Amino acid sequence: MRNILLAGVALVGFSAVLTEARADGMAAPLPNITAAPGKTDGAAPGSVSVNIGLQELTAIMAEGGTNAKGDATRTVPQLFNWFHIFPSAEYVNPAGIHFAISAEIRNNNSGVGAGAGGNTLYLHQVSASVSSATFGKVAVGSPNGALDDLGVGTGDDFGNGLFYSWYGPPNAPPFAMADSYDGDTPRQKIVYETPDFGGFKGGISYQPNDVSLDHSTGLTNGGNNAVERNRIEVAVQFNKTFGNVGIKADIGGAFASAEHAAGLPTMQNVSYFNAGLVGTISGIELEGSISSGKFNAGPTNVMSPGSPSPAGSKNSTVYIAGIGYNMGPIGIGAVYYGMSYDDAEGAGNYAPGAKTDTVSGEGLGASYVVGPGVTLQFDAYTYTTKVPAPGKNTNGSIVALASQFAF
Which residues constitute the domain of residue 124?
A: 4-406
pLDDT tens track for 45-67: 888 999 999 988 888 888 777 75
pLDDT tens track for 118-165: 678 888 889 999 999 999 999 999 998 898 889 888 655 444 444 445
pLDDT at 106: 84
Count CA atoms within 13 Å of residue 305 on its CB side. 25
pLDDT tens track for 3-30: 333 333 232 322 222 233 323 333 333 3
CA-CA distance, 252 to 390, in Å (whole number)? 38
pLDDT tens track for 221-271: 655 666 788 999 999 999 999 999 999 999 999 999 988 777 777 889 999
pLDDT above 90 for 97: yes
pLDDT at 301: 45
The torsion defined by the Cα of 301, 307, 312 and 313, in degrees rounded to 10, comes to 50
Give the list of residues 6+ apart from residue 276 with CB closer than 8 angstroms, or none: 151, 152, 153, 154, 178, 249, 250, 287, 288, 289, 290
> Parallel, antiparallel, or unpaired: how do β-strands 284-294 and 270-281 relate?
antiparallel
Give the list of residues 6+ apart from residue 279 with CB closer than 8 angstroms, or none: 245, 246, 247, 248, 285, 286, 287
pLDDT at 18: 28
Domains in the chain, number: 1
pLDDT at 65: 76
Average pLDDT over the chain, rounded to whole?
76
Confirm if 357 and 339 have CB atoms less than 8 A apart. Answer: no
pLDDT above 50 for 333: yes
CA-CA distance, 273 to 251, in Å (whole number)? 7
Q: Output the CA torsion sign for 155, 145, 171, 393.
A: positive
For residue 247, the domain's CATH number is: 2.40.160.10
pLDDT at 117: 63
DSSP string across 194-257: PPPBTTEEEEEEEE-SS-BS---S---S-S-SS-EEEEEEEEEEEEEEETTEEEEEEEEEEEEE
How are the residues of the chain apportioned to helix, strand and coil, as percentages rounded to the nearest 5? 5, 50, 45
pLDDT tens track for 180-215: 344 566 788 999 999 999 999 999 999 988 777 777
- Among 227-236, 304-313, 375-384, which range has the highest average pLDDT? 227-236
CA-CA distance, 246 to 208, in Å (whole number)? 36
Average the pLDDT over each of 11-25, 34-48, 69-83 and give the range with the smallest value.
11-25
Q: What is the mean pLDDT of residues 79-102?
A: 91
Exposure string for 146-177, b = 16+ CB within 10 A, e = fewer: bbbbbbbbbbbbbbbbbbbbbbebbbbbbbbb
Exposure string for 102-112, b = 16+ CB within 10 A, e = fewer: bbbbbbeeeee
Give the list of residues 6+ apart from residue 77 with CB closer than 8 angstroms, or none: 60, 61, 62
DSSP bridge partners of 392? none
pLDDT at 221: 60
DSSP bridge partners of 397? 64, 382
Q: Which residue has the higher pLDDT, 158 or 272?
A: 272
CA-CA distance, 71 to 33, in Å (whole number)? 40
pLDDT above 50 for 305: yes
pLDDT at 32: 31
CA-CA distance, 221 to 223, in Å (whole number)? 7
Confirm if 238 and 247 have CB atoms less than 8 A apart. Answer: yes
pLDDT at 159: 45
CA angle 13, 14, 20 (to 5 degrees): 60
